[in-house]
Amino acid sequence: METFEEFVKRILTILFWLIIVLPIIIFPILFLVVGLLGIDVIIVNEILTAAIDPLKAIKLAERYGLGFSSTFFKIAVFPGFTFAALIATFTILYERKLLAKVQLRVGPLYAGRFEGILQPIADLFKLLGKELVVPEKADKMFFWAAPILSIGLAASLLSVIPLSPTIYIARSEFSLLIPFAILGFSPLVVLIAAWASSNKFAFIGGLRALHQLAAYEIPMLLSILGIVILTGSFDLMKIVEAQKDIWFIFPQFLAAIIFYITILSELERIPFDLPEAETEIVSGWLTEYTGMHFGLLQLGVYMKFYALALLFTLLFLGGWNGPAFLPPIVWLLGKLFFVITIIIFPRAVLPRLRMDQLIRIGWAWLIALSFINIFIAVIESSLGII
Amino acid sequence: MTDVVFLVVSLLTVFFAILALESRELVYGAVALSLSFLGVAGLFILLDSLYIAIFQVLVYIGSIAILIVFVIMLVRRDKWANVTSGNERILGIIAAVLLFSTMTYFSLSSSLTSQYPNPAAISDFYEIGSQLINDYWLILQLTGLALAVSIVGALTMAKFENR
């Protein structure tokens, strides 16, 4: 049996020998071929030196319009996909450690020297090494489409959510509404995954997810209407600017609670994890997914987690507003960490709801409470509190 | 450029609409229907009304397509009427052609003839809201009344079915 550290050691050894062998054997052959074919040697030289020199790589990228300020970099790396995926993997590790500490276990411990800090990387390699099993009776096209759609939707949620006055991918006048419009697709992805698996557990899980997502989308949208009434804008930038003096969690406390409960339900977390209740229906609509398919679905769910936690921070906790001795992005990430913690926490202590309780809470309580919240917002704005 | 995008989006919309009607598998039909709604939202974006496009996605894909999926999954297959007999098909085609021609005639004869409308006049949601409340309040109230009546009707039907 190879432990994870031995595995890393083996990879590093291979890399070391590759670096020794490259200049002695492969580079001369490469330049010989390039010279014989008559390609400009300088370009090849530039690409090869950029491969080992990060500064030159940055310059080369900037020359071809892929630098730090380009749209491609924004979408693919910093406020966009890679950053979100890193936060999502961090969330998975943090969730496992936090739940373990609450329940007096140790959680991930061995990968990495300190408290299992390399566990997400080990999990990634494990998932990459697993076989992709597609059931014989499954609808192949839909079965493959579901993981890709899941991660695509989760990533496109982030397209209009700003991280600070200067760090954003795209600005829109309706940046509050666009994420909710994209969230409307998520029942469709669950339906595709559940139906394509042609498995009874998956199908029951998919039906439960449809019920749940349809019931909780309406109070989610209604609960933010109070903030729209108070600020008179759908622009997240303006909403955060309006919270300079007072965070909206104080005048809109009811809305914050409703939004928090609907986040738990949209992410199918305990106590709302009926679609994947593992003690009843194996793993719900994820039952038939293996290997990297499962990894992509899971990453999609956790990127959605990041996007919704970010929305909660921007709407109720004042976003990047804070004393000026720290840059705005640090304030935002600190608040985001707090929100992620309170979203994870119920999983450690609460049991699962029954289906009838879930439906009653969604349709009877949350929608009525969010209408009451709209009246509160109207009264506050006419009294001139905000 | 806009014309190419318009052509592609409208062709996709029509393609998915036909697929939604003709596909044998009902789930394919539901997915095609929601993609067709998405195409309509794309047409609204081309007309510079992002606000209406967002609500098209929110209402039609987020709610109506999902409700249709519910009905498909909860009702048994054999309960669906099999509409393949010739008469009904011809009647349906005639009705669709009549509806299309009247709508085309009235929209062409109306004042909405310019291809690219003024973007500043459309995308303002304040304007939409104030017109709904001030000018079209009667229609708003009547729509609310119709919705309330249909909910009461549905409740009554559900109650009688349970007995």
* CA of A185 vs chain B CAs: smallest distance (Å): 6
Residues 6+ apart with CB under 8 A from A230: A242, A248, A251, A252, A377, A380, A381, A386
Query: A184-188, A333-337, B109-113 — which one is most confidently predicted on average?
Result: A333-337
Query: A25-29, B93-97, B125-129 — which one is most confidently predicted on average?
Result: B93-97
Does A113 or A296 have the greater pLDDT score? A296
Residue A193 half-sphere exposure toward CB, CA atoms < 13 A:
34
Looking at residue A312, its pLDDT comes to 92
What is the rounded distance in angstroms from the CA atom of residue A209 to the CA atom of residue A195? 12
> Do A311 and A179 meet the contact criterion of CB atoms below 8 Å apart?
yes
Looking at residue B80, its pLDDT comes to 52
Mean pLDDT, to the nearest integer, of A161-186? 86
Q: Which of B50, B63, B69 sits opposite A174 (nearest CB)?
A: B50
What is the rounded distance in angstroms from the CA atom of residue A142 to the CA atom of residue A189? 9
- 3-state class (DSSP) for residue B94: helix
Looking at residue A292, its pLDDT comes to 86
Indicate whether A24 belongs to any domain: yes
Contact of B62 with chain A, judged by CB distance below 8 Å, is answered with: yes
What is the rounded distance in angstroms from the CA atom of residue A157 to the CA atom of residue A175? 10
A–B CB contacts, 8 A cutoff, strictly below: 55
Looking at residue A38, its pLDDT comes to 75
Q: What is the ipTM of this complex?
A: 0.73
Contact of B51 with chain A, judged by CB distance below 8 Å, is answered with: yes
Asked if residue A281 and residue A168 are part of one domain, the reply reads: yes
What per-residue string of b and e applies to A344-378 under the rule 16 or more CB within 10 Å gives b? beebeeeeebeeeebeebbeeebbebbeebbebbe
Looking at residue B123, its pLDDT comes to 56
Of A195, A209, A352, A213, whose CA–CA distance to A288 is shortest?
A195
pLDDT tier, A236 (very low <50, low <70, confident <90, very high otherwise): confident
Among A118-132, A249-263, B77-91, B144-158, whose mean pLDDT is lowest? B77-91
Asked if residue B94 and residue B134 are part of one domain, the reply reads: no
Chain A residue with minimal CA distance to B62? A184
Asked if residue A166 and residue A44 are part of one domain, the reply reads: no
Looking at residue A139, its pLDDT comes to 82
Structural domain of B85: 2-123
> Which of A174, A175, A192 to mutate to test binding with chain B, by most B CBs within 10 Å of its CB?
A174
Q: Which of B51, B62, B65 sits opposite A217 (nearest CB)?
A: B62
Number of domains in chain A: 2
Per residue, the 3-state secondary structure of chain A, as one string, reads CCCHHHHHHHHHHHHHHHHHHHHHHHHHHHHHHHHHHCCCHHHHHHHHHHHHCHHHHHHHHHHCCCCCCCHHHHHHCCCCHHHHHHHHHHHHHHHHHHHHHHCCCCCCCCCCCCCCCCHHHHHHHHHHHCCCCCCCCCCHHHHHHHHHHHHHHHHHHHHHCCCCCCCCCCCCCCCCHHHHHHHCCHHHHHHHHHHHHCCHHHHHHHHHHHHHHHHHHHHHHHHHHHHHHHHCCCCHHHHHHCCCCCCCCCCCHHHHHHHHHHHHHHCCCCCCCHHHCCCCCCCHHHCCCCHHHHHHHHHHHHHHHHHHHHHHHHHHCCCCCCCCCCCHHHHHHHHHHHHHHHHHCHHHHCCCCCHHHHHHHHHHHHHHHHHHHHHHHHHHHHHCCC
Partners of residue A173 in chain B, C-beta under 8 Å: 50, 123
Looking at residue A1, its pLDDT comes to 66
Burial class of A121 by CB neighbour count within 10 A (0 to 12, 13 to 18, 19+): middle
Q: Residue B105 is part of a domain; what is its CATH number?
A: 1.20.120.1200
Looking at residue A357, its pLDDT comes to 86
What percent of chain A has pLDDT above 70? 99
Residues 6+ apart with CB under 8 A from B71: none
- How many CB atoms are closer than 10 A to CB A216? 24
Looking at residue A81, its pLDDT comes to 86
Asked if residue A295 and residue A200 are part of one domain, the reply reads: yes
Among A54-68, A251-265, B120-134, whose mean pLDDT is lowest? B120-134
Asked if residue B146 and residue B109 are part of one domain, the reply reads: no
Inter-chain contact A184–B125, Cβ cutoff 8 Å? no
Asked if residue A235 and residue A91 are part of one domain, the reply reads: yes
* CA of A175 vs chain B CAs: smallest distance (Å): 10
Asked if residue B129 and residue B119 are part of one domain, the reply reads: no
Among A175-189, A197-211, B121-135, B139-153, whose mean pLDDT is lowest? B121-135
Among A119-128, A295-304, A308-317, B73-82, whose mean pLDDT is lowest? B73-82
- Dump pLDDT digits (tens) for B17-54: 888 888 777 778 888 888 898 899 888 888 777 888 88
Q: Is residue B120 over pLDDT 60? A: no
Q: Is residue B149 over pLDDT 90? A: yes
Q: Is residue B86 over pLDDT 70? A: no
What percent of chain B has pLDDT above 90? 11
Asked if residue A196 and residue A61 are part of one domain, the reply reads: no
Handedness of CA A212, A102, A124, A329 (dihedral sign): positive
Of B69, B24, B36, whose CA–CA distance to A190 is shortest?
B69
> Do A298 and A85 meet the contact criterion of CB atoms below 8 Å apart?
no
Q: Is residue A194 over pLDDT 80? A: yes
Task: Look up residue A291 and give its amino acid.
Answer: G
Q: Which of B54, B61, B125 sits opposite A185 (nearest CB)?
A: B61
Partners of residue A214 in chain B, C-beta under 8 Å: 63, 66-67, 70
- Show which of A34, A67, A100 is a domain's final residue: A67
Q: Is residue B117 over pLDDT 90? A: no
- Dump pLDDT digits (tens) for A241-278: 888 888 888 888 889 999 999 999 888 888 888 888 77
- Dump pLDDT digits (tens) for A124-149: 888 888 888 888 888 888 888 888 98
Structural domain of A100: 81-383
> Do A184 and B62 meet the contact criterion of CB atoms below 8 Å apart?
yes
What is the rounded distance in angstroms from the CA atom of residue A359 to the CA atom of residue A205? 15
Asked if residue B39 and residue B79 are part of one domain, the reply reads: yes
| DSSP code of residue B80 | S
Asked if residue A287 and residue A193 are part of one domain, the reply reads: yes
Looking at residue B2, its pLDDT comes to 67
> Which of B16, B36, B61, B66 to mutate to test binding with chain A, by most A CBs within 10 Å of its CB?
B66
Number of domains in chain B: 2
Partners of residue A221 in chain B, C-beta under 8 Å: 58
Across chain A, what does the average pLDDT equal? Answer: 85
Q: Is residue B6 over pLDDT 70? A: yes
Asked if residue A365 and residue A235 are part of one domain, the reply reads: yes
Across chain B, what does the average pLDDT equal? Answer: 80
- The dihedrals phi and psi of B123, each to the nearest 5 degrees, come to -80, 5
Asked if residue B22 and residue B72 are part of one domain, the reply reads: yes
Inter-chain contact A214–B66, Cβ cutoff 8 Å? yes
Asked if residue B154 and residue B77 are part of one domain, the reply reads: no
- pTM to 2 decimal places: 0.81
What is the rounded distance in angstroms from the CA atom of residue A142 to the CA atom of residue A156? 20
Asked if residue B151 and residue B100 are part of one domain, the reply reads: no
Indicate whether A75 belongs to any domain: no
Looking at residue A363, its pLDDT comes to 86
How far is C-alpha A215 from the geometric centre of its chain's CA atoms?
22
Indicate whether A255 belongs to any domain: yes
Residue B20 half-sphere exposure toward CB, CA atoms < 13 A:
17
Partners of residue A266 in chain B, C-beta under 8 Å: none
Looking at residue A231, its pLDDT comes to 87
* CA of B74 vs chain A CAs: smallest distance (Å): 9
pLDDT tier, A288 (very low <50, low <70, confident <90, very high otherwise): confident
Does A224 or A74 have the greater pLDDT score? A224
